[in-house]
Amino acid sequence: MKKVSSRTKKGKKNNNKYLLIALLLVLLIGVAYAALSSTLTATVTKVTQPVGSWDVGFVPGTVNGTKGGTSTGDITCGAATVTKDSVSVANTVLTKPDDSCTYALNIKNLGSIDARLATISVTDPSSVSCTGKTTNSPTMTCGNITYKITTDSSGSTLLTNNTTLAKQTGSLNVYLVIKYTGTTVNTSAIEQSNAKFTLVYNQA
């Protein structure tokens, strides 16, 4: 059996001592690094989306048409019944060239959201095809009669889309004009029914 010298035993003890110190240093370093840390938080306490109110439409009431032309004696402008969503014009009679009826209307935005006039479309009256129609242009000529919506009482400036009505205060005066634009007098009565304009407002 081989003897282990005391020097060898002492050397092993020293090695173990060094190893233990090295392990302690590693642990201490590890603890030191673990202590150097940051925790950041971002907290959103509350997000509220209030209820928005949508309230765009005509000012309701009864609107009498204003007669126009060289002679108004033979003109009958039926009264317009106006609700928030529609305008309905009663029977109207235009006899000769330049006769017209003009209805002053008002569109308001009383809601809490800005509104934009997105589209304007027209529908031909029954029994006749119309010309002069273009996209988002509120005018059409149907035989001798021209229908249009303008922003002036003289009937020269057409309403255009993409105009905005501010929330709560937005107001727009428009005029529905029905005019005899033909150059000849009819030899027999002609009736046109249900000519229509559709205005679509969206959120601006």
Dihedral class, residue 105 (left if φ above 0, else alpha if ψ from -120 to 50, else beta): beta
User: pTM, whole model, 2 decimals?
Assistant: 0.77
pLDDT at residue 109 is higher than 80: yes
- Band of the pLDDT at 16, cuts 50, 70, 90? low
Angle at 124 between CA 122 and CA 125, to 5 degrees: 130
What is the distance, to the nearest Å, from the Cα of residue 45 to the centroid of all Cα atoms in its chain? 31
The whole-number pLDDT of residue 186 equals 84
How many residues can be counted in the chain? 204
pLDDT per residue over 113-161, tens digit each? 999 999 999 999 998 999 999 999 999 999 999 999 999 999 999 999 9
Query: What's residue 24's pLDDT?
Result: 47
- The predicted model gives 164-168 an average pLDDT of 97
